[in-house]
Structure 1
Amino acid sequence: MTQKFENRVYGATVIRSVNSNFNADFTHAPRTLPDGVVYATDKAIKYAIKDYIRKNYEDPQNDNYVLYIKRLGDDLLPYSLDGAYNLMVKLLSGTYKKNVEIDSSKNKGLKDIDKKRILKGLTRKITVYNLLKCIDIRLFGATFAKRGSGSNKKSSESDKRDKTESLNLSVHGPVQISHAINRFPENTLYTEDILSPFRTEEKTSESSRTSTDENSESNLKSTDKQSSTIGNQTNLMEGHYVYHFTINPLNLEELYKQVLQESEHIEKLVPTVLSDNDISLFKEALNRSVTYLDSSRKIGSENEMSLFVTLKKGSLKILPNFSELIDVTRDSSKNVVINAEKVGKLLKAIEGEIEKIELFYNPADTIVEGFGELKVEKYNILNSEPVR
Structure 2
Amino acid sequence: MSRAAFQLAARYVLRHRLQSALLAGALGLVFALPLCLRVLMDHAQRELRARAAATPQIVGTRGSALVLMMTALYFKRENLTPLSMAALNSLRQEDNHASVIPLHVRYHSQGAPIVGTDLDYFPFRALRIARGKNLTRLGDCVVGAALAKRRGLQPGGHVFSSPEQAFDMAGVYPLKMRITGILTANGTPDDDAVFVDLKTAWLIEGRSHGHNDLAEDKSVVLKQEDKNIVGNAAVMMFNEVTDANLGSFHFHGDAATFPLSAVLVLPQTAKAEALLAGRYAKSKEEQLIRPRDEMEALLTQLVRLEGFGASALLLTATAALLVTALVFALSFRLRRREFQTLEDVGVSRLALVSVQALEIVLIAVAAAVVGAVLLSVASHAAPHLLRLVV
**Structures share fold, TM-score greater than 0.5:** no
Please tell me whether Structure 1 or Structure 2 has the larger radius of gyration of its CA atoms. 2
| TM-score bin (small chain) | under 0.3
What's the TM-score once normalised by structure 1's chain length? Answer: 0.22
More helix by share: 2
What's the TM-score once normalised by structure 2's chain length? Answer: 0.22
More strand by share: 1
